[in-house]
Each structure stands twice: as structure tokens, then as C-alpha cells.
Amino acid sequence: MTTVLDPTSETAPATRERATRPESLAGLTVGLLDISKPRGNVFLDRVSERLTGLGATVNRYAKPAFSKPAPVDLRHEIATECDAVIEALAD
């Protein structure tokens, strides 16, 4: 029998707790994160219209560069200001 050392980050938990899903978006604040790919704003404008129609308040955010992860500050801002967030990739 061989014992080896785990080469991974060892951070993957067996199960991951998901945030509770809202029953309805009415009255909630929904964040829309534009990843800064061309014409993503066109798509998000339409999503914003539809969400507002459902009674949600929409906050718009944008990543500085689509090729890099959202900065920690931005993630924190979204997490503290919104009840839900939609992030989409578009080209």
C-alpha cells in the first residue's frame, strides 16, 4: 500500500451550502454585472427592463476587464448592495 501527499488545494468541501433562492424578485435589488465584453450592455439593458417589470430594483456594475476576475472591492460591493446577482458572458 502506498501513501501519497494530496497535490490539490484540499479546499473542496464535500458539499457546498447554496444561498436560499428568493420566491419572487418583487421588491428585491438585483445586480447586473457587465463583464465588459462588446455589446454586453445591449443585452443587459433588456434584462434590466424585464427585471424592473417584475418589480425588482436593478443595480448595474461592470468589471474593468473581461479577462480578469472581478476585483475584491467590486465583489464586496455587489454582495452588500444586492439580494441577487446575474452575471453573463456575451460576445
Partner 1 sequence: MSSDLPSARRLPDGLVAVVKRDCPTCELVAPVLSDLHDRAGLTVITQDDPHFPVDADWVRHDDDLAISWHHDIEVVPTLLRVVEGSEDRRTVGWSRSEWEQFTDLDGLGQGLPDWRPGCGSLSVDPAHADVLAVRFSASGLRSRRVEMAALEDEWEAMWDRGWSDGLPVVPPTEARVLRMLEGTTRDPSEIAAAVPPALVDCSVEKVAVNAVMAGCAPEHLPVVIAAVEATCTDEFNMHGVLATTMSVGPVLVVNGPVAGRIGMNSGINALGQGNRANSTIGRALQLVVRNVGGGWPGGVDRATFGSPAKVGFCFAEDEAGSPWTSLAESRGWREDQSTVTVFAGESPRIFADEKSRSPESLTRHLAQALQATVSPRMMLGMDAMLVLSPDHMARYADAGWSRDRFMDELSAELLCDADELLAGVRGVAAGLPPAAAGRKVPKFRPGGLLVAHAGGPAGLFSAIIGGWANGPRGSDPVTREITP
Tell me if 14 contacts partner 1 by CB under 8 A.
Answer: no
Contact segment (CB under 8 A) with partner 1 among 8-16, 18-26, 50-58, 77-85 equals 8-16
Tell me if 3 contacts partner 1 by CB under 8 A.
Answer: yes
Residues in the chain: 91
Tell me if 42 contacts partner 1 by CB under 8 A.
Answer: no
Among 32, 41, 46, smallest CA distance to 74 is for 32
**Please, which residues bridge with residue 31 across strands?**
59, 85
Do residues 47 and 86 lie in contact, with contact meaning Cβ atoms separated by under 8 Å?
A: yes
Which residue in the set 55, 56, 67, 87 belongs to the binding site for partner 1 (CB under 8 A)?
Answer: 67
